[in-house]
Amino acid sequence: MFNPEGLHLIICVHGLDGNAADLRLVKTYLELGLPGARLDFLMSERNQGDTFSDFDTMTDRLVQEILNHIQNSSDPARISFVGHSLGTIIIRTALARKEMKPFLGKLHTFLSLSGPHLGTLYNSSGLVNAGMWFMQKWKKSGSLLQLSLRDASDPRRSFLYRLSERSQLHQFKHILLCGSGQDRYVPLHSARLELCKAAAKDTSLLGQAYREMVHNMVSPLAARASTVSVVRYDVQHALPHTASALVGRAAHIAALDSDLFIEKFLLVSALKYFR
């Protein structure tokens, strides 16, 4: 058993086209809200500048970054993760790696901000879907292709489906899934790890695979309901009437740069899960 009063390592992982400073406000309010706690932050930077790679490549970098950080600092008693958008998938992929197995027993809290855990399927915004398709082609992005489950002819052989079969989310004590219906980049059902109506009615092979992905990740959590707390948030942001808000980008990045949201979210609700 680890000492709950020991060092608490909190690893923050940015999203697509992001950088190590993206989650700085989360770090600031965790430090303000937990005075006296032994907190150690790793603001991941190894993938900044190249988030259009495939997930395996980005995971290699994150795993090595984590191992190097732990080797060069004190051994943590607890390890928590905070991820935004695509960063949440890199975190989940890292936890499925054999190099991270020694640390699974120390996992404490996973805060997922607009994480596309079920990919970008069943997105209601045709404009965003077209934009994502163009971006994937232009950047030759492996990660965007994988998020659309189009990286294999059989969806059950896609990256996200295979990752769902190796989910380690049930190793955490607390899982906080934060999404917004105003976010058109990452569908709310994907961020909250839930089945949507469109997927429930889809009788195609893709629909079947999608429902199986949800089951693969949720059933281990249900089996550990007495020891794992899962909290889902549907956030409504006060957004200006701009083009960015119209296409859903403003809500997607508000989880990063809205000082008011992050302060209230952490200090009123989420902070207790990091104690």
**What are 45-93's pLDDT values in tens digits?**
999 988 888 999 999 999 999 999 999 998 999 999 999 999 999 999 9
Residue 249: pLDDT above 60?
A: yes
Once rounded to an integer, what is the mean pLDDT over residues 263-269?
94
Question: Which region among 19-33, 125-139, 149-163, 191-205 has the lowest average model confidence (pLDDT)?
Answer: 125-139
CB under 8 Å to 135, separation ≥6 — which residues?
Answer: 141, 144
Q: How far is CA 247 from CA 5, 15, 62, 166, 186, in A?
A: 44, 18, 30, 33, 11
Decide if 30 contacts 2 (C-beta within 8 A): no
For residue 203, give the amino acid letter: T
Beta bridge partners of 231: 176
Q: For residue 5, what pLDDT band results from cuts at 50, 70 and 90?
A: low
Question: Which region among 125-129, 158-162, 179-183, 247-251 has the lowest average model confidence (pLDDT)?
Answer: 125-129
Sheet holding 8-13, edge to edge: 39-43, 8-13, 78-84, 107-113, 174-179, 229-234
Decide if 196 contacts 187 (C-beta within 8 A): yes
Helices (H), 77-151: 86-95, 126-139, 142-147
Once rounded to an integer, what is the mean pLDDT over residues 259-266?
93
Helix axis angle for 86-95 and 55-71, nearest 10°, is 70
* H or E segment to which residue 159 belongs: helix 159-164
The pTM of this model reads 0.92
CB under 8 Å to 163, separation ≥6 — which residues?
Answer: 55, 89, 92, 93, 96
**What are 196-237's pLDDT values in tens digits?**
999 999 999 999 999 999 999 999 999 999 999 999 999 988
CA-CA distance, 105 to 34, in Å (whole number)? Answer: 23
Tell me which CATH homologous superfamily contains domain 8-270.
Answer: Alpha/Beta hydrolase fold, catalytic domain (3.40.50.1820)
Neighbours of 234 (CB within 10 A): 13
Once rounded to an integer, what is the mean pLDDT over residues 143-169?
93
Beta bridge partners of 43: 12
Q: At which residue do the structure tokens 């996200």 appear?
A: 160
CA-CA distance, 200 to 202, in Å (whole number)? Answer: 6
CA-CA distance, 205 to 174, in Å (whole number)? Answer: 33
What's the pLDDT at 131? 47
Output the 3-class SS for 185-229.
Answer: CCCHHHHCCCCCHHHHHCCCHHHHHHHHHHHHHHHHHHHCCCCCE
